[in-house]
Amino acid sequence: MLSALAVAGWTAGSSPTWRILLAVAGPAAAAGMWALWLAPASARRLASIPLLAAKAAVFTLAGAALALVGHLGWGAALIAVSLGDLAVIHGRDRRSSS
């Protein structure tokens, strides 16, 4: 996801300065959000369903960003694989907590 955001930022930039800025800002914003609300050790970690929705949103946005800059196949693959993975993990976690 971080790499996808970096590639999307780099590709979207119109000058070397913008390329670098966007390639760093997207992943940094996602990593900061992940650390605050999605990481297992976070003091502010979201509850189960909002956590799943936020993770799905972050990966979907990263895939969409890739698709928008011309990497449609990679963007679609990122979305499909990450959402499938999140579904499997969520299902496993629900079974183990019951």
Q: For 7-40, write each residue's pLDDT tens digit.
A: 999 999 999 999 999 999 999 999 999 999 999 9
Q: Are 2 and 72 in contact (CB under 8 A)?
A: no
Rg (CA), the chain: 15
Alpha-helical (H) ranges within 1-98 are 2-12, 16-33, 48-68, 72-97
Model pLDDT for residues 78-88, shown as the tens digit of each residue: 999 999 999 99
Predicted TM-score (pTM) of this structure? 0.89
Structure tokens that stand for 90 in this block: 């969520």
**CB of 22 closer than 8 Å to CB of 14:** no
Read off the amino acid at residue 77.
A
Let me know the angle formed at the C-alpha of 43 by 40 and 25, rounded to the nearest 5 degrees: 75
Give the SS3 label for residue 5: helix
